[in-house]
Chains A and B, each alone.
Chain A
Amino acid sequence: MTVLKINNVSKDFTLHAQDGTRLAVFDQLSLTLHASECVALSGPSGIGKSTLMRMIYGNFHCAHGEILIRHQDDWVDIATAHAHRILDIRRHTLGYVSQFLRVLPRVATMEIVTEPARAQGVTDVEAEKRARDLLNRLRVPERLWSLSPMTFSGGEQQRINLARCFAARYDVMLLDEPTASLDAENRATVIEIIAEARARGSAMIGIFHDQAARDALCTREINMSTYAERAA
């Protein structure tokens, strides 16, 4: 089943404060994603991998082309959808594992981790069960669960971020270097957790600088350099 269709998407940034300088990122990119697939975006830094993922998430504006996502049996174009619709898609259909946890002051780890699942209508009990399971597997010590992760290490924050996203269920997931800043043991666990989500049917688009993770997870690779050269 097709879950995401990207048609002829181009991206440039216009910097109005710097004499209207126009930075072309990529041009005429198309991509179709099916359930359970895992596509790796490859190419050097600055080629537009994160930019494309942020456009799919609706975090960056898409002025050219369409980004169609299957959302509750409807096709919705993220490029033109109303803010309400995008928020609804993010709640139920589209997950984004960023590289950094955006920590709110004073909110406990357990609450942060269970929040997306609860927003999907999962009961508190079930959300907490999933959270405990993931936090344990990712070796986040139980004594930290009731604390705000504000002062935790980068690696701990990243594992909390992963637990948060994988405690919910999404048809499409965007993974921005999910194994960066983790030790070997935790890397292996994250690969397992991602593989389980794929087996449940989630489709993934990701950036994996870690070759082992890419080999273990990805079914296909898109080299962004091809589209970047056209934009330049």
Chain B
Amino acid sequence: MNANHQETPLLKAVGVSKSFGDVLGCQNVDLDLFPGEVLGIVGESGSGKSTLLRCLSGEHALQNGHVSYALRTGEIADVHAMAAAARRMLMRTDWAFVHQNPRDGLRMGVSAGGNVGERLMAIGDRHYGNIRSTAIDWLEKVEMSASRIDHMPETFSGGMQQRLQIARNLVTRPRLAFMDEPTGGLDVSVQARLLDLLRGLVADLDLACIIVTHDLAVARHLSHRLMVMRAGKVVEAGLTDQILDDPQHPYSQLLVSSILRA
């Protein structure tokens, strides 16, 4: 991680609020994310973690607040004021979105190689041989056999589908990844492997990440900083190990003390 407090934040959110009718999503959230930095968002189900993630990525419109992103050109873009086409382009190139359920992030009717190659074509790569060799390279990076390149995602296990989703997202070397419970539906041995893989990729690509998880071990393993959310609000934020080892807010204390030690 090269995160440095003097740099311009890659993503900056000020006063982000969103509710669904009477149901509160998230309220008045501020955050700065720096290049190469991994921020974990933890909290119980319904605390607004995923809503916040979708507000930050521009998928949800905001009731209040502002989210800006530093483009590769150096220009600062307002994520919610961007033209739909420009935001889609960003989503396909400079950003990654890893869903808990790989079926939400993969094209199930397209082969593994096609899933990875599609994002390369979106950034203008047209050479079939290059696309295919880059796809093979990425399948190997996520520890999948190159011989599976022409197989459909349907024929893969849940863990393999999740690794394919990650390869598809990272092939364009994005600078920012949004991850919503990336290890959520996986069994423990597969989770450990995926975590290790993610940790390596994040460091190698100098990728900034916002990871929503309810699993504090995942948060400790991957994130530099942590935000604890409850009922739509951030109740505590700071250095990951400090929040997990010496939580100050009553809710963070409850969350940390509720974990069963294996």
Binding site for B on A (CB under 8 A): 13-17, 54, 58-61, 82-88, 104-107
Question: In the assembled complex, which residues on chain A have CB atoms less than 8 Å from the CB atom of B3?
Answer: 84, 87
Q: How far is the CA of A87 from the CA of B2 in the complex (A)?
A: 10
**Once the chains bind, are A87 and B257 in contact (CB under 8 Å)?**
no
Which chain B residues numbered 33 to 53 have a C-beta less than 8 Å away from chain A? 34, 37
Among A15, A83, A104, point to the contact of B225 (Cβ < 8 A): A83
Q: Assess whether B245 is interfacial by the CB under 8 Å rule.
A: yes
Q: Mark B217-256, 1 if CB is under 8 A from A, else 0.
A: 0000100110000000000001101100110111001100
Determine whether the beta carbon of A16 is less than 8 Å from that of B241. Answer: no
Query: Measured between alpha carbons, how far is A88 from B249 in the docked complex, in Å?
Result: 26
Assess whether A60 is in contact with B250, with CB atoms less than 8 Å apart. Answer: no
Given A16-B253, A17-B254, answer yes or no on A60-B196 (Cβ-Cβ < 8 Å). Answer: no
Query: Are B193 and A106 neighbours in the complex by a CB distance under 8 Å?
Result: yes
B221, B241, B248, B249: the one contacting A59 at CB < 8 Å is B241
- A105, B196: Cβ atoms closer than 8 Å: yes
Given A16-B254, A60-B242: A83 and B192 interface contact (C-beta under 8 Å) = no
Chain B 1-26 interface mask (CB, 8 Å, partner A; 1/0): 10111000000000000000000000
Contact B257 A86 (CB under 8 A): no
Which residues in B have their C-beta under 8 angstroms from that of A61? 242, 246, 248
Give me 20 other A-B pairs in contact (C-beta within 8 A), A16-B253, A104-B196, A106-B196 excluded: A15-B253, A17-B250, A17-B253, A58-B239, A59-B242, A59-B246, A60-B246, A61-B242, A61-B246, A61-B248, A82-B5, A84-B3, A84-B37, A84-B224, A87-B1, A87-B3, A87-B239, A105-B195, A105-B196, A106-B192
Interface residues of B (CB under 8 A from A): 1, 3-5, 34, 37, 192-193, 195-196, 199, 221, 224-225, 238-239, 241-242, 245-246, 248-250, 253-254, 257
User: Chain B residue with minimal CB distance to A119?
Assistant: B1
Query: Distance in Å from the Cβ of B215 to the closest Cβ of chain A?
Result: 15
Instruction: Write the nearest CB–CB distance from B234 to chain A, whole angstroms.
Output: 14
Complex Cα distance, B220 from A151, in Å, reads 21
> In the complex, which residues of chain B have a beta carbon less than 8 angstroms from the beta carbon of A88?
4
The contact sample of 22 A-B pairs, CB cut-off 8 A, is: A15-B253, A16-B249, A16-B250, A16-B254, A17-B253, A17-B254, A54-B246, A58-B239, A59-B239, A59-B242, A61-B242, A61-B246, A83-B238, A83-B239, A84-B3, A84-B5, A87-B1, A104-B199, A105-B195, A105-B196, A106-B192, A106-B196
Q: Which residues of B contact A85 (CB under 8 A)?
A: 5
With A82-B5, A88-B4 known as contacts, the answer to whether A17 contacts B248 (CB < 8 A) is: no
Select the residue from B225, B245, B246 with max chain A CB neighbours within 10 A. Answer: B246
Q: What are the residues of chain B within 8 A of A83 when measuring CB–CB? A: 224-225, 238-239
Contact of B224 among A17, A87, A104, A107 (CB under 8 A): A87
Q: Are B245 and A54 in contact (CB under 8 A)?
A: yes
Query: CA–CA, A16 to B195, complex, Å?
Result: 32
